[in-house]
Amino acid sequence: MSIQFPDPNDPECRVISSVLARVGDKWSILIVVLLAQGSKRFSDIKRSVGGISQRMLTLTLRGLERDGLVNRKEVSTLPLRVDYKLTPLGHSLGEAVEPLATWAQNHLRQISKARDKFDARADQ
């Protein structure tokens, strides 16, 4: 693997770092993977992404929207409904992280065993 990063003093490096911070955030990745399945309401996202607070979900969705990865659409109903869906750019990110999500799912048992083994040694 050969990735060329700009000089750390180059302003482009800060932009790359901010993008990687966004897509490297655990909530962002989970939300992108979820929205890759189709448009979802705020409440559906919250229910599906276990452990996320309403505030953190709001902040994460705003960040994804700001970066052009997610579209937010208000639907005039009572109560107001808000739907989120991936943009074409968001779908391209979903395609990039799908192999990582699949890898994590396929290796959960191995990782869990390794953690248990490590923790048992650390407790001695």
Q: Contact 98/33 with Cβ under 8 angstroms? A: yes
Using DSSP's 3-state secondary structure scheme, residue 101 falls into helix
What CATH code is carried by the domain that includes residue 79?
A: 1.10.10.10
Position 124 scores a pLDDT of 76
For residue 6, tell me if it sits in a domain.
no
Instruction: Report the distance separating Cα 7 and Cα 11, nearest Å.
Output: 9
For residue 85, tell me if it sits in a domain.
yes
Position 92 scores a pLDDT of 95
Domain that holds residue 33: 11-122
Token couple for 105: 């799912």
For residue 93, tell me if it sits in a domain.
yes
**Residue 29: which of 88, 90, 82 has the closest Cα?**
90
Q: Contact 74/80 with Cβ under 8 angstroms? A: yes
For residue 30, tell me if it sits in a domain.
yes
Question: CB neighbours of 40 closer than 8 A, spacing ≥ 6?
Answer: 34, 48, 83, 84, 85
Question: What is the H or E stretch that residue 83 is in?
Answer: strand 81-86
Position 2 scores a pLDDT of 63
For residue 69, tell me if it sits in a domain.
yes
Question: What is the H or E stretch that residue 85 is in?
Answer: strand 81-86
pLDDT of the chain, 124 residues: tens digit per residue: 566 666 767 777 777 778 888 888 889 999 999 999 999 999 999 999 989 999 999 999 999 999 999 999 998 888 888 999 999 999 999 999 888 888 989 999 999 999 999 999 987 7
Name the domain count of the chain: 1
Position 75 scores a pLDDT of 85
For residue 47, tell me if it sits in a domain.
yes
Query: Would the pTM count as exceeding 0.75?
Result: yes
For residue 118, tell me if it sits in a domain.
yes
Q: Contact 35/85 with Cβ under 8 angstroms? A: yes
Position 5 scores a pLDDT of 63
For residue 4, tell me if it sits in a domain.
no
